[in-house]
Amino acid sequence: MNIDVEWDNREQTIIRILFRRGWQWAELEEAIRQADTYITSVPHTVHLLIDIQEAGGVPADVITRAGNLFEQGEARTNEGQKVIVGAGMLIQAAYRAFLKVYGTQMAGRPFQFADSPEAARQMLRQM
């Protein structure tokens, strides 16, 4: 599998989702289910550190597929912040466009961006 989901710390307050080159949409859907299971397994807030540094880009149908993902489901009551590591300017610009289109569905589920996993962890500790 080209997407790993695991606890990032012993306190189980951060889940790290690590993408590798060659990931597929079915793997992302499974990773989302796995992260959801982790989030609901604990009573406290759980943040997501989404590391796409080694993802090798995004599939061609990203706009349609990502839009479908944003339209699905509600945030869990204990779902915390989401920080994406390694997103270039193009991905950040696409995210801003998604906000304009899917802003209502994404309310309460915003993404932030960091240059490294360490910077993301620092951001999450300050929240």
pTM confidence score: 0.85
pLDDT (0 to 100) of residue 24: 87
The CATH number linked to 29 is: 3.30.750.24
Total number of domains in the chain: 1
Host domain of residue 117: 3-125
The answer on pLDDT for 42 being more than 80 is yes
Helices of type H across 41-81: 62-71
> How confident is residue 91, by pLDDT bands cut at 50, 70 and 90?
confident
